[in-house]
Structures are given as structure tokens and as C-alpha cells.
């Protein structure tokens, strides 16, 4: 008989951030896909892909950290989660500075969710 444990709040929030970042990225790519007069693409278009990749990596790392028995193995995944969160926040700020007119509000929303995630992260770190 196996017990069903509900997903941790960290996992739930990581999935929310992943979904939100995918939608934001999709919106921003449409906005930034237009070439300028010289035929160059927007210089920050790749940051939108970075936020998707980093947010998609959060959930598996959290899951691994929660499932590992030995603290050294767990620590590797915790450090990875911390680095991903930091990189995700940095890329949001970069995008926010360079995004066309109305994409900034969506990035502020993502940054707000990341702030909530970091609060959860502090509690999560104490429980591991």
C-alpha cells in the first residue's frame, strides 16, 4: 500500500511559474519578432527563451531535492534551485528593461510570483 502525499507548495508554485513564463514568453516573442530597419532582430528576444528554460527546470530540481535521502545529494539540487531562481529573476529584470511598451506589466507579474516563490523557498529550505 502506497501513501499519496499531496504536492508540496514549492512544486505547485514552480508549475505556476512555468506556465506563466511560457505564456509571457509567447506574448513577448510575438512583440519582439519584428525586425528593425536594418533587418536585425530584437537583442533581448533570447531572454524570453531563457525564462522558459529556467522555469521549466525548477520543478524537477525541487522534486529531486525532496526525494533524495542523503543531505549531500539534496544540497546539490537545492543549490540548483537557488541558482535557477536567481537567474530567472535577473532575466526578468533584463527583459523588463528592454521589452516593447506593454510587455512590462506581465514581467512585473512574473517577478511578483518569483517573490512569493522565494518566500516559500526560505520555509522549504528549513524543512529539508
- Show the cell assigned to 63: 522534486
pTM of the model: 0.86
pLDDT band, very low/low/confident/very high, at 88 (cuts 50, 70, 90): very high
**Residue 106 CB burial class (10 angstroms; 0-12, 13-18, ≥19):** buried
Q: What is the mean pLDDT of residues 57-73?
A: 92
As a whole number of angstroms, the distance between CA 94 and CA 50 comes to 11
Task: Say what the pLDDT of residue 56 is.
Answer: 96
For the chain, which domains are there?
9-33+51-127 (1.20.1440)
Residues 15-57 pLDDT 10s: 999 999 999 999 888 877 777 777 777 777 888 899 999 999 9
The 10 Å Cβ neighbour count of residue 42 is 19
Model confidence pLDDT, tens digit, residues 96-108: 888 766 778 888 9
Burial group, residue 38, by CB count within 10 angstroms (0-12, 13-18, 19+): exposed
Q: Nearest Cα to 91, choosing from 56, 41, 44, 27?
A: 44
Amino acid at each position: 500500500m502506497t501513501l499519496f502525499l499531496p504536492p508540496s507548495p514549492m512544486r505547485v508554485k514552480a508549475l505556476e511559474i512555468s506556465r506563466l513564463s511560457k505564456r509571457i514568453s509567447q506574448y513577448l516573442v510575438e512583440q519582439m519578432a519584428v525586425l528593425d530597419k536594418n533587418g536585425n532582430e530584437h537583442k533581448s528576444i533570447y531572454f524570453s527563451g531563457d525564462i522558459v528554460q529556467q522555469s521549466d527546470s525548477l520543478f524537477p530540481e525541487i522534486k529531486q531535492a525532496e526525494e533524495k535521502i542523503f543531505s549531500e545529494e539534496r544540497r546539490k539540487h537545492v543549490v540548483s534551485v537557488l541558482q535557477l531562481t536567481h537567474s530567472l529573476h535577473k532575466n526578468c529584470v533584463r527583459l523588463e528593461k528592454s521589452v516593447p511598451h506593454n510587455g512590462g506589466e506581465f514581467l512585473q507579474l512574473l517577478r511578483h510570483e518569483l517573490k512569493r516563490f522565494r518566500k516559500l523557498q526560505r520555509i522549504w529550505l528549513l524543512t529539508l
